[in-house]
Amino acid sequence: MKTRFSISLDEARAARIKAAAALAGQDVSSYMGKAALALVEREEQVAATFAEIDRRIANSEALAPTLSWPPPSADGQLEVKEEAQIQLKWDALLGAALPRAA
């Protein structure tokens, strides 16, 4: 069963699409359906490709506000020099966007 829906385009774009469909030997409906489905499939593939890293980023971002910066060392404390070196690297990377430890 086919479902009808419409899209609105300015005249120039509509003319380009009609011409491209005619050149491909298809009616506009078939041409647009194939084009839309190709885009949907591409976006689904991109989403699937990046799903794991997107999940990890979301988890990290959710956890970030609960963490102190810079992180404590294995013995619980960083030397002042170590903290300064870490902060300089982060400042260079993020433009001093991270809050400094109190």
> Tell me: the pLDDT tens digits for 70-99?
666 666 677 888 888 888 888 887 776 655
Q: Tell me the three state secondary structure of residue 9.
A: coil
25: left (phi over 0), alpha (psi -120 to 50) or beta: left
- Tokens 């774009």 label which residue? 13
The pLDDT assigned to 85 comes to: 87
For CA atoms 13, 7, 39, 43, the dihedral sign is positive
Quick one: average pLDDT of 29-41? Answer: 96
Residues in the chain: 102
pTM value surpassing 0.85? no
